[in-house]
Amino acid sequence: MNFSITSRASRIAFLLLCLSALSGCGKDAPPAAGEGEGDGHAEDTHGVSLRGEEHDDAPESAGDEASESTTIPAAMAEQSGIRVAPVTAGTIADEHDVQGLLTPVDGRVAQVMARFPGPIRSLRANVGDKVQAGQVLASIESNLSLTTYTVSAPISGVVLARQAQVGGVAGEGTPLFEIGDLSTLWVDLHIFGNDTQHITAGVPVTVSRMTDGVTQATTLERVLPGTATASQSTVARATLRNDDGLWRPGAAVKARIVVATRPAAQVVPLSALQTLEGKDVVFVRSGDTYSARSVRLGARDAAQVEVLEGLAVGESVVVEQSYVVKADIGKAGAAHEH
């Protein structure tokens, strides 16, 4: 009996000791799988969020760079006609575009007259023919002497008009032909409004034919007094050479009058300008990389524009086929977005 009680007490004490040991072990044991994974997941989520923000920032920066530059190998650029030139100092012209008419020069148009009245026996020139001074143009039988005499060209030039017919009667003092020396012509330019206050004799003029766009540089010789009755414009006159004979009296022409020029520290051709996202840009080449550079522009003329900010003298900018570079940059930006 005593043995049984003692044995039972020993077993109870042993169990209490084991329970106490297990309780202590539970305090030092690692967290449960669910709890550990939950805490770790929370930390990972926070970490991914930071990396995501950094990742989002990086592509945005890379995207801006990718959308504003492109790489074009030299061989491909040459094949595409892309040409670059350095930024240089230059001049900007104050120009005025006007229109005008070509006219023969006074004193270089001659009337061919019959010296004596009588029937016209022959005519040897037609309108448009070139003739030389002294060349026989017609023969006429004089009513007074009943002999035939000839009429010659007084100057070299082109037959502008013919008022005679074979068999007709030439009256004394009646024009038979009109001949014009068209080797030089006047161009009468019509100036309107405030432009008349700025345009004076001696300034350079570039005249363009409307038929084929051929241009010729000359100098404004004089500004005529008064105004043209029909247009109420002031007429400024210059002289043109007509070596090819294609400048024709009566034809309308365009002209650009340069009133003044001023220096500019940096200029680029107008062909270098493009727009990206509403901004004026030029494309700067470095090696095979072409980058869009935003620029602030100043005055411009018909050929070039002043650059106030955004470039440095000597940098290579695209001056021909700049739209090809713009298109390539657009493709690169679209590819990056996808």
Q: What is the mean pLDDT of residues 172-195?
A: 92
Q: What is the mean pLDDT of residues 316-334?
A: 88
Q: What is the mean pLDDT of residues 130-155?
A: 95
Percent of the chain at pLDDT > 90 equals: 67
Question: Looking at the chain, which residues constitute the CATH 2.40.30.170 domain(s)?
Answer: 95-104+183-261
| b/e burial code for range 63-97 (CB count within 10 A of at least 16 → b) | eeebbbbbebeeeebeeeebebeebeebebbebbe
Question: Given 3.20.20.70, 3.60.15.10, 2.40.420.20, 1.10.3720.10, which CATH number is that of 62-91+263-337?
Answer: 2.40.420.20
> Cα 196–197–202 angle (5° rounding)?
80
Highest mean pLDDT among 38-52, 123-137, 324-338: 123-137
**Helix spans in the chain (H):** 2-28, 33-67, 74-79, 322-337
Question: Looking at the chain, which residues constitute the CATH 2.40.50.100 domain(s)?
Answer: 109-180
Question: Looking at the chain, which residues constitute the CATH 2.40.420.20 domain(s)?
Answer: 62-91+263-337
Pairing of strands 169-170, 175-180: unpaired
Please give the pLDDT value at position 197: 79
CATH class of 109-180: mainly beta
Calpha distance 94→117 (Å, rounded)? 59
Task: Give the SS3 label for residue 229.
Answer: coil
Calpha distance 309→95 (Å, rounded)? 24
pLDDT band for position 129 (cuts 50, 70, 90) = very high
Please give the pLDDT value at position 40: 40
Which phi and psi angles does 206 have, rounded to 5°?
A: -115, 120
Q: Give the CATH fold of the 95-104+183-261 domain.
A: Elongation Factor Tu (Ef-tu); domain 3 (2.40.30)
Secondary structure string (H, E, C) spanning 89-105: EEEEEEEEEEEEEEEEC
